[in-house]
Structure 1
């Protein structure tokens, strides 16, 4: 028979189960990566019935819910219970670069695998450079485009482009 000698160990296990640790997060540990034109997410859900997994996407937020039920009965006296049971939930913020209408999911060997394609606007692309007036104007200024200086304001409106690394110019 197994014996426990540390009276605070059960409290430590409870705290770890609820809060998790850096090495073993509570709930659903995951890996996510982008490869080519796809974005991939794998969540560890060992011992979860595939019928209990629920996936919802709303406004680029993917919600994963799953339930792990205990394998022992209600009238069983447990000696050690370290595997978490109950409802688990995790939300992933997908951003605007994923096509949420085409996300695919599969579950095998305790791993939930999600794959979503990257939208056309987020794919890298080449921009053609045209010749003519713009190139001559830049060459006249020493090969650099003109940026707003004191007293000049950047263009506003739907066609204006704002550099993410510079604060907006206030007029």
Structure 2
């Protein structure tokens, strides 16, 4: 089972939303979708303009962490007319339940979207339990 705690880091998120650091714009959040398909979960996180080499994904003590960096453009002589794109560090954490296979998580970054495939652990997959039928003792077995 995959758990998502939207209030896990409220203080840090509130601080980042309310802070104003002059002209430096830092990322506010990493939008994502989380859904289950058959025997795995899928996380699709939006990271447009991120260098794939800056993306780090780790699992530690049941927490899946995603971090990435977008560097700001710093060209001499540029006169900015608008600067609305965030730069800086993006980070997102998800609590993994006991029912996922942490060793076989895979990741793909394509067109600004990071997709993680998180398979269910074998013990967590639904399975059918066969029912044994007891045989009634036959008349011959009773006479013997």
2:138 is matched with none
1:69 is matched with 71
Task: Using structure 2 for the length normalisation, give the TM-score.
Answer: 0.68
Instruction: Give the alignment partner of residue 109 of structure 2, picking from 104, 107, 110.
Output: 107
Structure having the higher Rg: 1
How do residues 118-133 of structure 1 correspond to structure 2 at under 5 angstroms?
Answer: 118-130=120-132
Preserved contact between residue 17 and residue 84 of structure 1 (Cα < 8 Å): no
Aligned residues: 113
2:47 is matched with 45
1:90 is matched with 92
How do residues 25-36 of structure 1 correspond to structure 2 at under 5 angstroms?
Answer: 26-36=28-38
RMSD: 2.5
Gaps of at least 5 residues in structure 1 are 1-13, 19-24, 133-171
Question: Quick one: distance in 2 between partners of 1:98 and 1:116?
Answer: 7
Task: Using structure 1 for the length normalisation, give the TM-score.
Answer: 0.58
Higher percent of residues as strand = 2
Question: Quick one: distance in 1 between partners of 2:67 and 2:76?
Answer: 24
Q: Higher relative contact order by CA 8 Å / sep ≥ 6: 1 or 2?
A: 2
Gaps of at least 5 residues in structure 2 are 1-15, 21-26, 135-144
